[in-house]
């Protein structure tokens, strides 16, 4: 195939991007044996065996690594359980982390290469030093198409000298032709660099960064999905994915822990309003989802107001619910017969959000906050808040561990919920009260209810915050 060459040009910038910890990012001068941001994704039980490498990855900041999504699948196309994988620094194998959570821009089809990128959240932060530091990420750099890409090939042959080469970018039509030749299909946002020859050896090497050089600083511009070259592993061509269309999503995910989430900002706002309009009542205001019988003593589900127009509940309540019924006190009620259910496509039996056509009349008495400290383990006393105030007692303890379902402890007392005026049902939540806040914070939600004392874990709301915020606040 004809090779189209371009004149190598680099961008100039007048400032040096630094990571949130103050560590200089993307500097070739900080290389030890290989780029400091380079990691290997290895099978955790094979790190010391021959050929443990699953894929490579790139450090974005102290909590996130980016790689190709198909690196999380085996050769049969089956997902590899996350506990089986470890993130390991190439420069210092003693520095390793587990994967706590994965983030995808869209639902991934392993049969294709579309949207083949994933962000891996580490189980604990990295400490940056002379061996480990992040690559630079700047959406404005991604927005300007360079004529050359920088590729560091050290991780392909860990014991060789550092190999950083400049590879020219091929036109989109050439790239699509190559992809069709290899995979019988093309894919969106493809990026091809270097010289391709059909006789070259196909390397199943993926996850490394395609980098843009600007004034002696390296910025990530793409992710390698495959390479070709000599049988010895030397690279002359790389096919990958351009990160420009994903820049906003990447920035939102990797920097979320650096700024207050919209859930946290709204909680502060709601607390101020609730404190100013605090009411003393024996009745605990409740949101009930009722079927055609409209029996509020036996609701289909419970729900919790989390914004001006949304309540949180269990997804299984969708088909039976005919009415959203709010009981402010024994004589004051409000009801909605028009509403919209939103469920997570990937978890049809998990949580749901119900959109109401108007703001509830006594909003400040009804509103709840969400627990947003996703990295902070928590043990707390759970309460059932849908009964007369004088009947409400502390029923059991709950335990939150990041990335895990909420565990319920001391369940021997939860049977008392069955004797309450309104019994437990799906959509019941476990919440915690902070001493300095008026509103409680919802940590987890039960999809079964607590009355039978058999449901020992509940859905973690913290793990669904991104989806909740996108639906509720856009």
Cβ atoms of residues 166 and 149 within 8 Å: yes
How far apart are the C-alpha atoms of 225 and 114, rounded to whole Å? Answer: 11
Which residues make Cβ contacts (< 8 Å) with residue 94, sequence separation at least 6? Answer: none
Q: What is the pLDDT of residue 74?
A: 84
| Residue (of 136, 170, 174) closest to 11 by Cα position | 136
17-21, 145-149, 308-312, 402-406: segment of lowest average pLDDT: 17-21
- Structurally, the chain folds into a number of domains equal to 2
How far apart are the C-alpha atoms of 424 and 420, rounded to whole Å? Answer: 8
Domain assignment present for residue 8? The answer is no
Same domain, 47 and 63: yes
Domain assignment present for residue 287? The answer is yes
Report phi then psi at 29, rounded to 5.
-70, -15
Q: What is the pLDDT of residue 449?
A: 79
| CB atoms near residue 411 (< 10 Å) | 16
Q: When comparing pLDDT for 283 and 390, which is higher?
A: 283
Q: What is the pLDDT of residue 421?
A: 53
How far apart are the C-alpha atoms of 256 and 277, rounded to whole Å? Answer: 32
Same domain, 55 and 149: yes
Domain assignment present for residue 31? The answer is no
User: By residue range, what is the domain housing residue 350?
Assistant: 262-473
Same domain, 185 and 316: no
Condensed to tens digits (0 to 9), the pLDDT of residues 148-183 reads 677 765 434 333 333 556 778 899 999 999 999 988
Q: What is the pLDDT of residue 4?
A: 30
Same domain, 134 and 168: yes
How far apart are the C-alpha atoms of 414 and 429, rounded to whole Å? Answer: 13
**Dihedral angle of Cα 218, 222, 226, 229, to the nearest 10 degrees:** -40
Condensed to tens digits (0 to 9), the pLDDT of residues 346-381 reads 788 899 999 999 999 999 989 999 998 877 888 887
Q: What is the pLDDT of residue 283?
A: 72
Q: When comparing pLDDT for 306 and 88, which is higher?
A: 306
Domain assignment present for residue 7? The answer is no
pLDDT reading at 394 higher than 70: no
84-98, 338-352, 379-393: segment of lowest average pLDDT: 379-393
pLDDT-derived band of residue 436, with 50, 70 and 90 as boundaries?
Answer: confident
Domain assignment present for residue 29? The answer is no
Domain final residue pick, 255, 273, 300 = 255
Report phi then psi at 458, rounded to 5.
-130, 165
How far apart are the C-alpha atoms of 146 and 181, rounded to whole Å? Answer: 25
Mean pLDDT, the chain, as a whole number?
80
pLDDT reading at 440 higher than 50: yes
Domain final residue pick, 239, 255, 271 = 255
Which residues make Cβ contacts (< 8 Å) with residue 319, sequence separation at least 6? Answer: none
Which residues make Cβ contacts (< 8 Å) with residue 314, sequence separation at least 6? Answer: 301, 350, 351, 352, 426, 427, 445, 446, 447
Tokens of 235: 């690279």
| Sign of the torsion angle spanned by Cα atoms 117, 120, 126, 132 | negative
| Residue (of 278, 274, 296) closest to 287 by Cα position | 296
How far apart are the C-alpha atoms of 406 and 421, rounded to whole Å? Answer: 26
Q: What is the pLDDT of residue 18?
A: 36
pLDDT reading at 81 higher than 50: yes
Q: Is 390 exposed, middle or buried (0-12, 13-18, 19+ CB in 10 A)?
A: exposed
Q: Is 234 exposed, middle or buried (0-12, 13-18, 19+ CB in 10 A)?
A: middle
Domain assignment present for residue 62? The answer is yes
Domain assignment present for residue 324? The answer is yes
Same domain, 59 and 144: yes
Same domain, 460 and 362: yes
How far apart are the C-alpha atoms of 467 and 252, rounded to whole Å? Answer: 13
Domain assignment present for residue 22? The answer is no
Condensed to tens digits (0 to 9), the pLDDT of residues 272-328 reads 998 887 776 667 788 999 999 998 888 899 999 999 999 999 999 999 999 999 988
How far apart are the C-alpha atoms of 121 and 99, rounded to whole Å? Answer: 6
203-217, 365-379, 391-405, 430-444: segment of lowest average pLDDT: 391-405
132-146, 190-204, 293-307, 415-429: segment of lowest average pLDDT: 415-429
How far apart are the C-alpha atoms of 351 and 205, rounded to whole Å? Answer: 38
Q: What is the pLDDT of residue 417?
A: 61
Place of tokens 């196909």: 202
Q: What is the pLDDT of residue 320?
A: 95
What number of residues does the chain have?
A: 474
Same domain, 249 and 269: no
Same domain, 225 and 91: yes
Q: What is the pLDDT of residue 29?
A: 59
Same domain, 401 and 460: yes
Same domain, 181 and 290: no
Tokens of 93: 């194998």
Q: What is the pLDDT of residue 380?
A: 82
Q: What is the pLDDT of residue 358?
A: 97
Place of tokens 């190559």: 178
Same domain, 276 and 217: no
Q: Give the rounded percent of residues in the chain with a pLDDT score beyond 90.
A: 34
Same domain, 228 and 314: no
Mean pLDDT of 86-109: 87
Q: What is the pLDDT of residue 250?
A: 93
Alpha carbon 4 to chain centroid, angstroms: 39
Place of tokens 């939600």: 445
pLDDT reading at 67 higher than 90: yes
pLDDT reading at 35 higher than 90: no
Which CATH number do you get for residue 92? 2.40.10.120
| Residue (of 353, 398, 402) closest to 373 by Cα position | 402
Q: What is the pLDDT of residue 216?
A: 78
Domain final residue pick, 211, 236, 255 = 255
DSSP 130-192: SS--PPB--HHHHTS--SEEEEE-GGGSTTSPP-EEEEEBPPHHHHHHHHHHHHSS--TTEEE
How far apart are the C-alpha atoms of 291 and 314, rounded to whole Å? Answer: 15
pLDDT reading at 185 higher than 50: yes
Q: When comparing pLDDT for 144 and 79, which is higher?
A: 79
Report which DSSP code applies to 244.
G
Cβ atoms of residues 198 and 1 within 8 Å: yes
């Amino acid at each position: 195939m004809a090779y189209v060459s371009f004149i190598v040009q680099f961008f100039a910038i007048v400032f040096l991007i630094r990571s949130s910890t103050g560590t200089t990012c993307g500097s070739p001068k900080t290389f030890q044996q290989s780029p400091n941001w380079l990691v290997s994704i290895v099978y955790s039980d094979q790190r010391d065996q021959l050929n443990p490498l699953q894929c490579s990855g790139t450090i974005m900041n102290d909590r996130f690594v980016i790689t190709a999504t198909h690196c999380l699948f085996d050769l049969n196309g089956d997902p590899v359980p996350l506990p089986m994988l470890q993130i390991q620094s190439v420069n210092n194998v003693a520095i390793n982390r587990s994967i706590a959570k994965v983030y995808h821009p869209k639902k991934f089809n392993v049969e294709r290469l579309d949207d083949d990128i994933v962000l891996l959240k580490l189980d604990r932060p990295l400490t940056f030093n002379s061996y480990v530091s992040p690559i630079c990420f700047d959406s404005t750099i991604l927005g300007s198409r360079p004529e050359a890409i920088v590729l560091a090939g050290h991780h392909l042959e860990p014991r060789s000298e550092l190999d950083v080469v400049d590879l020219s970018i091929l036109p989109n039509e050439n790239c699509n032709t190559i992809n069709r030749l290899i995979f019988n299909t093309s894919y969106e946002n493809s990026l091809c660099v270097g010289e391709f020859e059909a006789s070259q050896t196909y390397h199943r090497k993926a996850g490394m960064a395609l980098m843009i050089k600007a004034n002696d600083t390296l910025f990530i511009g793409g992710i390698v999905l495959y390479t070709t070259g000599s049988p010895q592993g030397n690279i002359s061509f790389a096919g990958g994915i351009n990160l420009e269309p994903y820049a906003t999503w990447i920035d939102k995910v990797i920097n979320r822990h650096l700024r207050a989430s919209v859930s946290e900002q709204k909680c502060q706002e709601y607390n101020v309003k609730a404190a100013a309009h605090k009411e003393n009542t024996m009745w605990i205001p409740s949101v009930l989802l009722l079927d055609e019988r409209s029996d509020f003593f036996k609701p289909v589900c419970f729900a919790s107001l989390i914004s001006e127009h949304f309540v949180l509940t269990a997804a299984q309540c969708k088909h039976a619910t005919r009415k959203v019924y709010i009981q402010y006190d024994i004589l004051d009620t409000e009801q909605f017969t028009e509403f919209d259910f939103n469920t997570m496509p990937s978890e049809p039996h998990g949580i749901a959000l119900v959109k109401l056509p108007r703001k509830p009349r006594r909003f400040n008495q009804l509103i709840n906050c969400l627990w947003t400290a996703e990295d902070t383990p928590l043990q707390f006393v759970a309460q059932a808040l849908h009964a007369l105030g004088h009947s409400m007692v502390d029923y059991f303890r709950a335990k939150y561990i990041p990335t895990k379902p909420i565990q319920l402890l001391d369940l021997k007392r939860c049977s008392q919920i069955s004797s309450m005026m309104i019994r437990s049902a799906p959509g019941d939540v476990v919440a915690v009260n902070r001493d300095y806040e008026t509103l409680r914070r919802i940590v987890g939600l039960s999809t079964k209810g607590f009355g039978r004392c058999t449901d020992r874990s509940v859905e973690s709301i913290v793990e669904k915050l991104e989806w909740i915020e996108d639906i509720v606040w856009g």
